[in-house]
């Protein structure tokens, strides 16, 4: 072994080699005839978004080479290929988190697989706590931007050697969330008559697994965060790095306490319950977005 490699082992975030990505991609391409154009990453309790797909082929994460497995309730741990009308899609029923002990390379592993499979657009969904005082439980927040709090501290999926086959060393993130897809979503929302509970806002990622203290929540509000969760930002960053078009929908499952006198305590069961409550509308919304974005074939990333 090269003595330098021994002294300075590669950082965890560069644990996946191009060969790892290729192997998994080839394996999936050999196991299914589906060639997805849109990937949907389903957050806590939102795996049912895959139910509306037809002609499904399902893989359990544990059976896919190199894939991490889901360890959190509300994350089924299945990769579902299927059609939404004429659009070939792939759904992740459950995604991965830093707090599960995964490296950010593992957390974002599926995104690069999707890229290599030919996916062009990623729809990420998650559950988050509302910080913006106007937000109500059950609101759907179209992600306009994000704050990568772990990234500020060096927990960033693109740290480590840059593989130019995926993207450039210093990617721009000022347009992480496609403006065209956000506009399309707003149009669909108004057609569906659900504008009264759809918002736009800034999502902040924290590592978790604890929910926020009141002082932390107040700090996040001052920083300009509208909602907070423990996922999504690494996947979006890697998706943007490799040229995928991204739309993010965050379901506000609880209000984050900003006040010491507030008695309510957030818990994961409540998060899953609210996700279930909004499944139907999110299914409808996702279906329309997928169908229309393919029809319109918007080009800007
Ligand atoms: O972001 P997703 O996975 O949707 O779930 C959110 O809800 C869980 C906490 O209840 C955390 O995993 C948080 O990130
Ligand atoms: N960090 C964090 N994640 C969440 N996921 C769902 N609700 C919350 C919340 O209030 N805080």
Whether residue 10 is contained in a domain is answered as no
Question: For 137-164, what is each residue's pLDDT tens digit?
Answer: 999 999 999 999 999 999 999 999 999 9
Q: How many domains does the chain divide into?
A: 1
Q: How far is CA 121 from CA 1, 17, 148, 236, in A?
A: 40, 23, 21, 11
| Reported ipTM exceeds the 0.95 cut | yes
Whether residue 11 is contained in a domain is answered as no
Mean pLDDT of 77-97: 96
- Tell how far the Cα of 254 is from the centroid of ligand 2, in angstroms: 7
Whether residue 48 is contained in a domain is answered as yes
CB of 43 sitting under 6 A from ligand 1: yes
Whether residue 6 is contained in a domain is answered as no
Domain region containing 124: 21-296
Question: For 16-72, what is each residue's pLDDT tens digit?
Answer: 889 999 999 999 999 999 999 999 999 988 888 999 999 999 999 999 999 999 998
Whether residue 5 is contained in a domain is answered as no
Residue 106 CB-density burial (10 A; 0-12 exposed, 13-18 middle, 19+ buried)? buried
Higher pLDDT, 216 or 11: 216
Query: Is pLDDT above 80 for 93?
Result: yes
The CATH number that applies at residue 179 is: 3.40.50.1580
Q: Which ligand is nearest to the CA of 98?
A: 1
Q: Which residues line ligand 2 (CB under 6 A)?
A: 127-129, 206, 208, 211-212, 228-230, 253-254, 256, 266, 271
Coil, strand or helix at 114: helix
Whether residue 7 is contained in a domain is answered as no
- Tell how far the Cα of 27 is from the centroid of ligand 2, in angstroms: 35
Q: How confident is the model at residue 297 (pLDDT cuts 50, 70, 90)?
A: low
Whether residue 221 is contained in a domain is answered as yes
- Tell how far the Cα of 142 is from the centroid of ligand 2, in angstroms: 16
Alpha helices in the chain (DSSP H): 3-7, 18-31, 104-117, 149-152, 179-192, 214-223, 233-241, 268-277, 279-296
Whether residue 4 is contained in a domain is answered as no
Q: How far is CA 67 from CA 63, 167, 173, in A?
A: 8, 22, 27
């Amino acid at each position: 072994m090269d003595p330098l490699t021994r002294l300075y082992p590669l950082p965890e975030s560069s644990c996946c080699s191009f060969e790892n990505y290729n192997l998994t991609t080839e394996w999936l391409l050999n196991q299914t005839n589906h060639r997805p154009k849109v990937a949907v990453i389903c957050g806590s309790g939102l795996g049912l978004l895959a139910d509306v797909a037809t002609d499904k082929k399902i893989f359990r994460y544990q059976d896919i080479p190199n894939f991490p497995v889901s360890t959190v309730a509300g994350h089924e741990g299945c990769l579902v290929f299927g059609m939404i009308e004429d659009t070939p899609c792939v759904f992740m029923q459950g995604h991965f988190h830093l707090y599960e002990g995964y490296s950010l390379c593992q957390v974002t592993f599926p995104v690069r697989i999707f890229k290599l499979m030919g996916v062009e657009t990623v729809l990420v969904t998650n559950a988050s706590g509302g910080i913006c005082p106007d937000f109500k439980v059950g609101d759907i927040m179209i992600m306009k931007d994000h704050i990568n709090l772990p990234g500020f501290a060096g927990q960033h999926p693109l740290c480590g050697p840059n593989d130019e086959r995926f993207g450039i060393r210093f990617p721009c993130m000022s347009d992480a969330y496609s403006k065209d897809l956000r506009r399309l979503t707003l149009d669909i929302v108004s057609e569906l008559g659900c504008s009264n509970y759809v918002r736009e806002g800034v999502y902040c990622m924290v590592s978790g697994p604890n929910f926020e203290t009141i002082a932390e929540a107040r700090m996040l509000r001052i920083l300009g965060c509208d909602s907070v969760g423990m996922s999504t930002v690494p996947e979006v960053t890697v998706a943007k790095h490799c040229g995928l078009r991204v739309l993010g929908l965050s379901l506000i499952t609880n209000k984050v306490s900003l006040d010491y006198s507030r008695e309510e305590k957030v818990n994961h069961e409540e998060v899953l319950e609210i996700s279930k409550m909004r499944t139907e509308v999110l299914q409808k919304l996702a279906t329309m977005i997928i169908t229309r974005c393919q029809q319109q074939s918007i080009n800007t990333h």
